[in-house]
Chain A
Amino acid sequence: MIKVRIPTPLRTLTKGRGEVESAGSTIDDLIGRLNQAYPGIKDRLCDEQGELRRFVNVYVNEEDIRFLKGKDTALKSGDDVSIVPAIAGGC
């Protein structure tokens, strides 16, 4: 099982839970499974092309997946995945 940390704005989809467990062989697979358990979560994480939104940071064991293999990053049981919205702004 993989532990997934859910940020506050997405907890309306996870019945208020800040941490959920899921299976998944890659980030892509994990997001698909999360979406079955918590419908709508995929749309919040990915754009229409299915790519991860740039204002969402995803980490596997504290490594930003942009510096791993993105959505193809492999997962194994015991991994920690954190979903953390970016903090940004501008005029």
Chain B
Amino acid sequence: MPPILRIPNSIVGAMIAHARELDPYECCGLLAGTPGTVSRHYRITNTVAQDARAVAVFDEADVKPLAALSESTRAEVAYFMEPKEMLAAFKDMRARELDLTVIYHSHTHSPAYPSMTDVGLAYYPEAAYLIISLEDKTTPDLRAFWIKDRRVTPAAIETI
């Protein structure tokens, strides 16, 4: 049984604020901690939100639902973490002896469930994938999932 993820209220608030800041683009970031308890938050730049041309990276993944959309629309429904910032975050986690516990991103137009693309590109089975939905702008919805071998199961989260 995977552990319940305990996330401090302040970090939940910071993730929602991050999602609202980037709306209509998706935000993304990482959380780290000890098994089951999150203690650290890293905002990571979404290269797609910064430059719509960065969505070209998805062409290789042969992502059908994205291919049908225009470049600017795709930029609102995709994220790609800036590689250097990601590495710096991983390095910081190692220095602090923390584990990667959560990979989060926002959905600005859809519910808080992983899309086909989210599932296809989930390369981190050890982390929970958390999605912040701003589909209803007044009531953000947060849900987390384990994604292993393309199978998605809900991850229990508790705010502390």
Contact = CB atoms under 8 A, between A and B. Distances in A.
The A interface, classified by DSSP as helix, strand, loop or mixed, is mixed
Given A88-B80, A91-B109, A8 B28 contact: no
B157 interface: no
Nearest to B76: A91
Contacts of A55: 57, 60-61, 121, 123
Interface string B74-93: 10011111011011001100
Interface in B63-107: 63, 65-66, 74, 77-81, 83-84, 86-87, 90-91, 103, 105, 107
Given A9-B123, A9-B125, A54-B60, A87 B86 contact: yes
Contact of B83 (A8, A9, A47, A84): A84
Q: Which of A54, A59, A88 has the most chain B CB atoms inside 10 A of its CB?
A: A88
User: How big is the A interface, by class?
Assistant: 20 to 34
Given A9-B123, A9-B125, A55-B61, A89 B83 contact: no
A14 B130 CA distance: 29
Contacts of B87: 57, 59, 62, 64, 82, 84
Interface in A54-75: 54-55, 57, 59, 62, 64, 66
B1 to A, nearest CB: 20
Contact of B124 (A53, A64, A85, A90): A85
Interface of A: 7-9, 47, 53-55, 57, 59, 62, 64, 66, 82, 84-91
